Chains A and B, each alone.
Chain A
């Protein structure tokens, strides 16, 4: 049928529309970011029910519209109930959704981004760990082409550590001399953790998480870097 399509997607956010409708943003597997109207969803007898709440992984059937599509059918793939019923996990999940919402382009397929998001949500649902969200931010930055440079000073090229700061604009660490001129201070332990995250050792980092202070440092730096590159604030990060 022309105009109708099916896809897998994760609900990123919902916005109220009119009396009983909502506009739902999805990160889909094959169509990139999609915004679609779910009609009558706020009525208690709606056949969509709780399937289109943020963090839900669903299979959707939509009718292609000029600007907004229209959701015609929804089936749950993963409801992530444990995650939704825990305040901490949920606020962390929402910051990831918001980051994806800012980075993803409408109707530009980004299967890698989709896979990363579903993976991160699934892990947060089954084995919650404070390492997941910072790991997600930095992997997202790498995916978008902002892989951090951690092996040498980004200004003078000095290869010998210790590195004391991180420059958001240059996307890498600074040596003590260059660090005096700017950049955000960062502890050496936090840098070691960061290099584990982006170096493909996320599982090891999850098994032995670092000191909460350093974890927070890496998480905050990740948010700052994302905000710097997307030039938009991640509003939900205030609630972490």
Chain B
């Protein structure tokens, strides 16, 4: 965290309501996202218990595993979930994209929290290797769902990707609450701070939301008291009735459904409320650009699967892992710059640390020429009067979010009362004219921001080909071939 967001937390605590830390929405929101709330059985690595899923707020689909420890029931659950998820995903890949373009839109999955992302990863891992023939055959949709969930979980590690979003993270990124980051991981409490019910303060609503009876946990872990006092009996009742079948079994299953619905429905409402809250913020300028990367990624994944793509290996090889890490780091850096350019409140962080300043143009010379060389070059000067603390030195090259193609080099910094007068020499973005045309550079009276932050193209570092993996990193990895063992793996 930073001084600015920490101060926002203090203000939120005192005001009894969350405070904005962004003035724009830095995350893409689909007009029709797929909300997925998974629940799993406590104590197991990945035993699905139930899920509520759908892209229509009024029509959630509820899935349940009445015997969560039965392997066959788990695959049935995976097949049921696949039906909804794959239909949703396929809808975005129905028409071929234009030549040289990605699909016009991509499917977006919303889960409540980081646990939901981990569940997607685990369910993906445990289903993507399954075979559709031979021993332990599963429906074709199961391994396909596994590949998609694995893809989404991996993509969510890329900063700035919006294909799979844990909503607690998205909300906490845009608002500071008067509680700790750890408490913000509770979706109900977080939403209570941001949008408390009428007549209640944020903290009072958040405390109430921590009561698992009033607000069941948003999964994937269930409330232990619910497990012990409700679910345990229901699972036993289903088991007892299973042999006989018929009405008693249907009744036991209906009772389980109703109990699970009581655990899922409140979160379903919260998920859509969270989407509404995020939509109140205007979208940041570079969000479409990042979403385009996501669309490209989705397009690539569709192509890969259509060419009968093999499941993702259990673990990345050394070269693939290094390449991935380098890409994540570049994206992270790029994202930080974009967010600051898009949002004055993010830029304020840099103004506070002296890496940026904002002020008013007090003087401008749009016709100034640099005559030092053989030919005179147009290098206009402007002077910016700022109340920000400027700790930069002469010669530093700056950029303005308003004109990212124009370099501004500090020529002089003078103090005038409480203000600093920064004189900048401008270069680029003014065409061939003798005098900078209006609008190509800031004019007197304009409000401007200049910063050392720049979004520059960086070459990807070079990595050896996979087959040339050095011995220090284990040598070339064996080709990944899905094995019988992978397909038959225990899921108990």
Q: Do A and B come from the same complex?
A: no
